[in-house]
Structure 1
Amino acid sequence: MRKVLFTGFEPFGGETINPSWLAVKALHGRRMLGRTAVSAQLPTVFDDSLRVLNALLREHQPELVICVGQAGGRHAISLERVAINVNDAPIADNTGKRPIDTPVVRGAPAAFFTGLPIKAMLAALQKEGVRAEVSQTAGTFVCNHVFYGLMRTLATSRTLRHTRGGFVHVPWLPEQGTPNMSLDDIVRGLAVAMRCALKVREDRVMGAGATD
């Protein structure tokens, strides 16, 4: 059975909900283009989040991985372009850790680019009327930590050499504040993104950051 792995995060920063987890949980078990979505929750904790993610990758050997996080203050589904090798936490994680200016992986490359066709995904989302954007920064909190760890694992693991992956940020839900997006729209958007990523392996680049 070919699988798509979705991950979301537990609530953090005093919140009682996290739309990333609620959305990916709603997709668990959904079949699309001959693949089955498997959803799992990651702890909002430096290092522990990567241990859980790597265990999920070993267990499921997915064809595609879409890690999802909450980005309060953003108005659209954000398709992240690049993960950087920096932890610089603006707040403490859920165990009280707050690394400042430390590497995600010591001695590893400064950055990894997404393995998802983000420009094609952007076009697909906009065609379906879902607010979306390409983002140039995933921050320096646990979301970027997971994004970087994912891309490094996919780049270095022999057993996952055919797996593609990346990171998507979603806005708050209406009950969390503004700007926001409904849970139904977030779930619909992630399903559109999944379908597009399964159909399109990579963006057709014409120049730096451009597609035809």
Structure 2
Amino acid sequence: MTATRTLLLTGFQAFGGEQENPSWQAVAALHGTRIAGHRVVARELPVAFGDALKALRVALRDTRPALAVCVGQAGGRAQISLERVAINVDDARIPDNAGKQPVDVPVVTGGPAAYFATLPIKAMRQALQEAGFPAEISQTAGTFVCNHVFYGLMHALRAQRHVRAGFIHLPYSPAQAARHPGAPSLAVETATGALRIALQAALRVREDARLPGGAEH
């Protein structure tokens, strides 16, 4: 694999009593495929503070990607959420899969307060919506393992400006929603198709265009 031809995707193991995690199911379906000339490599991350970042760093070292996108599950959300910002806080409402439940702990001691995704999230949203997928820009990735990984991803790549990266949240799968009455869901096959569209846009557009005065398209 060459640095300019690999696209790293990660998803998560099931957690919180769930039997599945649509983030891994959707990502795994893209493993080995090609998107805009880039070979997709999918890796599954543990839902565990610290351990997830160790696995992510190994994946980054092994693949040396041109683009890296971590994907997670956001039960209760109705749309595909393109995350804008990761914050330097671990504050867990529930224990992770290893039984850890950090409260008000930095992801990286001494690290900056936040990192912004380096993906063209507005162009990705537009591409998704034009293709008929429900999509939104999200201003928070939470403070559980998803944000932990998002922040760790951006921190790991802080000196590699040529590698763009970010995070996408997916709704529950229909099987999960059946166990959570009233919760919105998205079929895993639909989520897989949406990820392909979003990644195509990310590889096609370097950064979001800005209108005069600083406003964004």
Q: Give a deviation string over 1:79-128, Cα, whole Å, max 9, x none.
A: 00000000000100001000000000010100000011000000000000
Identity %: 56
Q: CA deviation at 1:161?
A: 3.5
**1:166 equivalent in structure 2:** 166
Of 176, 179, 200, which residue of structure 2 is paired with 1:195?
200
**1:186 equivalent in structure 2:** 191
**1:89 equivalent in structure 2:** 92
**Whole-angstrom CA distance in 2 between matches of 1:68 and 1:132:** 14
**Whole-angstrom CA distance in 1 between matches of 2:162 and 2:99:** 36
Task: Give the 3-state SS of the residue equivalent to 2:53 in structure 1.
Answer: helix
- For structure 1, which runs of at least 5 residues remain unmatched after alignment? none
**RMSD between superposed Cα atoms in Å:** 1.2
**Whole-angstrom CA distance in 2 between matches of 1:123 and 1:109:** 30
Instruction: Give the number of aligned pairs.
Output: 209
**Whole-angstrom CA distance in 1 between matches of 2:215 and 2:105:** 32
Moved over 4 A (4+): none
Whether 1:147 and 2:150 are equivalent positions in the alignment is: yes
Whether 1:75 and 2:65 are equivalent positions in the alignment is: no
Q: CA deviation at 1:211?
A: 1.8
Q: CA deviation at 1:208?
A: 8.3
**Whole-angstrom CA distance in 2 between matches of 1:53 and 1:41:** 9
**Whole-angstrom CA distance in 2 between matches of 1:201 and 1:144:** 23
Of 113, 124, 128, which residue of structure 1 is paired with 2:116?
113
Of 16, 22, 25, which residue of structure 1 is paired with 2:25?
22
Task: Give the 3-state SS of the residue equivalent to 1:120 in structure 2.
Answer: helix
**Whole-angstrom CA distance in 1 between matches of 2:35 and 2:152:** 27
Q: Give a deviation string over 1:158-189, Cα, whole Å, max 9, x none.
A: xx431110000000001111200111110011
TM-score by length of 1: 0.96
TM-score by length of 2: 0.94
Paired amino acid for 2:110: G
